[in-house]
Amino acid sequence: MVGRPLDESELIRRAQRGDTHAYEELVHAYQGIAFRTAYVVARNAADAEEAAQDGFVKAWRALGRFREGAPFRPWLLRIVANEASNRRRSAGRRAGLVLRAAAEEPSGDAAPSPEAALLTAERRATLLAAVEELPEEQRDVVALRYFLGLSETEVAETLAIPPGTVKSRTARALERLRESYD
């Protein structure tokens, strides 16, 4: 997860006044999560890269309408996810999410996190396959909520859906995963 700079609101205020240096800092802070959000939605690296770039440009143009004090990350990710979603609808190769090679064959260079230790390589692969089988709208919610670590509220804002819909899609997705995975 990307950490927020302490002076984010000041950076936003400056960017709203046309300060591109301030905006550059915001771009650097959020480019990782923006790209990954675009990727889990578009499932194509080139499309995700374009969606992130276009999202940052559009966010710059829309900064005047950004409400002071509102959380910046979901506001930005909503623009990026919309760009990615538009690209997903177009023709093109779509890739599935993949596990890191190191995760399949632990090298011993680094100790696994307590959470990672919960999963054997086989269970990871099975769970990922089950996630990939979910309907698109449930898969997006699961990917943003659990893989990218967004809160329920942020997922709702990012996908432009009500929080209640995030809850219901999450519940349905977990139910399906339990059925196919346990």
Partner 1 sequence: MTELERELVALGDELEYPVAREVWPQVSPRLQRRRLWPALVAVAVVALGIAFAVPPARSAILKFFHIGSVSVEQVQTLPPAQTRPFSTGLGPKLARPTVKLPAGLTATAYYARPGLMAAVLRYRGARVLYAELRGDQMGFAKKFVGPTTHIEEVRLGEFGIWLSGAPHVLAWDRGQVQTRLAGNVLLWLDHDVTYRLEGDLSERQMLALARQITR
Sign of CA dihedral 119, 121, 125, 126: negative
State yes or no: residue 167 binds partner 1 (CB under 8 A). no
Name the minimum Å distance from CB 9 to partner 1.
20
State yes or no: residue 70 binds partner 1 (CB under 8 A). no
User: Are the C-beta atoms of 172 and 138 separated by less than 8 Å?
Assistant: yes
DSSP character at residue 182: -
Contact range with partner 1 by CB under 8 A, out of 4-12, 43-51, 68-76, 161-169: 43-51
User: Are the C-beta atoms of 12 and 66 separated by less than 8 Å?
Assistant: yes
User: Which residues, 78 to 137, sit near partner 1 by CB under 8 A?
Assistant: 86, 97-101, 103, 113, 115-116, 118-119, 123-124, 127-128, 131
Name the minimum Å distance from CB 130 to partner 1.
10
Tally Cβ neighbours within 10 Å of residue 145.
18
Question: In a 10 Å sphere around its CB, with 0-12 CB exposed, 13-18 middle and 19+ buried, how is residue 114 labelled?
Answer: exposed
Instruction: List phi, psi (to 5°) of 119.
Output: -110, 130
State yes or no: residue 48 binds partner 1 (CB under 8 A). yes
Name the minimum Å distance from CB 115 to partner 1.
4
Tally Cβ neighbours within 10 Å of residue 118.
10
Residue 147, both tokens: 């893989």
Name the minimum Å distance from CB 126 to partner 1.
10
State yes or no: residue 166 binds partner 1 (CB under 8 A). no
State yes or no: residue 28 binds partner 1 (CB under 8 A). yes
Between CA 87 and CA 93, with CA 90 as vertex, the angle to 5 degrees is 90
Instruction: Give me the residues that bind partner 1 (CB under 8 A), please.
Output: 18, 20, 23-24, 27-28, 31, 34-36, 39, 45, 48-49, 52-53, 56-58, 60-62, 65, 86, 97-101, 103, 113, 115-116, 118-119, 123-124, 127-128, 131, 142-143, 146-149, 174, 177-178, 181-182
